[in-house]
Structure formats: C-alpha cells, structure tokens
Amino acid sequence: MTKLADTRYELHPSDTRYPKSLLDLSQPPETLYVRGNLDVLEDPGLAVIGSRKPTPYGIAVAEMAATVAAQSGITVVSGGARGCDQAAGKAALAEKGRHVIVLGTGADVTYPPSSARLIARTLETGGAVVSIERWGTQPRPYAFPKRNAIIAALARAVFVAEAGMPSGTFSTADAANKLGREILSVPGSILSPESRGSNYLISVGATIIVDEESLEVAVSRIFETLRFSRIGPAEEPGMSETERRILDALVANPMRIDEIAAMLGVDAVSCLNVLSGLQMTGRIERIIDGRFAPTKRALHARGAIMHNR
C-alpha cells in the first residue's frame, strides 16, 4: 500500500485539486509538482519567512509565529531554507501542526541538504512539498523568486521574522502585496543590520507585530479563528539586577563585550564574569561575529511560550 508521503502529483489549473489560491496569480503555474497531502494545500496558511542567517532573536520570532499558527489550526508555509524557514517548520511540527514546503528545486530534490529531516517529517505528518520546477531540477538562482511567489499565493498572510537588506524576503513580500495578502513584520533594533529589512517593511505599511499577543490578535482577525492552546509565561528566577539589565539590552540588540562594559560602566574583566554566568545558565550565547545575544530559551521565556526544543 502506498504511503501518502510517497505519493506524487502533477496538477494543472484545469484540475479540480489544483490549489485555488494559486489562481490569484496573474500567471498561475501550468504545472504544480506535489509530494504528500493535496488537501493541506487548500487549508488556510500563514507563510513564515526570514533570514537564512538569523540571530537568535530571528529564530525565536519564527518559532513563536509558527507555534501560534499551529495552535490556531493554521498550516505553516515556508521555503524550507536554512534559518527562519527551518525554525518555523520545526516549531509547527512540534505543536502537531501541518507544514507546506515550497522548493525552488524539483519537489523530489532535498535542498538545502540540512532540510532533509524537516522534509521527511513534513510529509510523514500530513504536509506537502511543492514546486513549479520539473522533477529532479537542481537549484538555480532564477528559480527562487518564482518560488517565493508561490509561497505568498499559498498563504493568506506572510509573516516576516527577521530580514536584512538586501534580502530575498522582499520578493515574497512584493508578491504578497500584489496578491492582496497581508504582511506581518516584527521590528528589531534600528542599529541591527539583521533587522533593516523587517523595519523597512513596517515603514511602508506592513502590520507591526510587537509581541505574541499582537500576533495572536492579527491571526484571529485574518483567519477568523482562535488559538486553542495557551501556555503561560515562564519565570526567570535567580537573576541579579545587572544580569537583567544586560539581558534587556541584548534583547534589543546583540552587543560586543566592550559595548556591554561601557553600558554598565565597568571594566572588561568584571563584565566578562557576569557574561560567563549568563552563558552558564543558558541565557546568552556568543554568535558568529563575536557579539553576545540572548538564547532562544531566554527569548521564549519572555513571551507567553516556553518549549524545550
């Protein structure tokens, strides 16, 4: 007996099972290649997109959005790319939600390789992997802007977790605008290059999402559904005032040790001692460029969700 995850389809606009949302495109794809569950393509979807090289803030925001969507019975749509896309997909599946991945390669090609497990789990749990490229097509740069239009079309709204400038996120946002889909964006520090794109989208009309509650309200308004599961905020006991001050500052913007020391008015050695304590308790981490940033656990603890991922 063939498993649903192993099924393949080639759909055309004249087919009754061709996703109706794609007909909103000025030029609906002549062939949609699908693996998995066709029914999920008609479900209301929230696209969660963002940087391929996100900060911990971007990862936490993507996970928050996908969690709220899954707990509201909304399918999460992503490109399956590194960073925010993968974080959103994993978070949706962790909440027993459904996930649709839109690839810029053939729907039977695992790209990027780091998405292999996510693709498999998406299919195993009743989701789908789709593409407008022929079976077996390998990654080509020109295919990804076309892929982004499909992401926007399959979703009722597009959530931007974190984006710099320039960013491929903008082609998805532009497609969403043309289709009349609402764009939701989370602000970041005006000093953070990783948030320039997100902040720009807000400045030109995207709906600003300032916290988990505002996202929940937006989802309820757009999708006319209520979140069915809610987890209360987690406490962060045992922190000194200095530690709280550092964490508050790092939530706003990742910083280097000399910047943190200057903010506190202490020498670098004293500052490093406090930072080491925060690292040992899993509240901050050092990111690739040497700056310190809150961990996903610390960021989730400040919202209304806390998961041991």
Given a cut of 60, is residue 309 above it in pLDDT? no
Q: Is 251 exposed, middle or buried (0-12, 13-18, 19+ CB in 10 A)?
A: middle
Mean pLDDT, rounded, for 194-200: 94
pLDDT digits (tens, 9 = 90+) for 173-194: 999 999 999 999 999 999 989 9
pLDDT value of position 308: 40
| Spatial distance between the Cα atoms of 65 and 73, rounded to a whole number of angstroms | 13
**Average pLDDT, stretch 275-287?**
91
Residue 301 pLDDT class (50, 70, 90 cuts): confident
Residue 231 pLDDT: 41
Residue 244 has pLDDT above 90, yes or no: no
pTM: predicted TM-score of the whole model, two decimal places:
0.77
Q: Provide long-range contacts, Cβ within 8 A and 24+ apart, for 282-286.
A: 283/236, 283/239, 283/243, 283/247, 284/246, 284/247, 284/250, 285/56
> How many CB atoms are located within 10 Å of the residue 144 CB?
17
pLDDT tens track for 97-143: 999 999 999 999 999 999 999 999 999 999 999 999 999 999 998 88
Tell me, what's the pLDDT at 47? 98
pLDDT of residue 68: 96
Contact 198, 185 (CB under 8 A): yes
d(CA 9, CA 231): 39
Instruction: Report which DSSP code applies to 204.
Output: T
Secondary structure of residue 190 in the 3-state scheme: coil
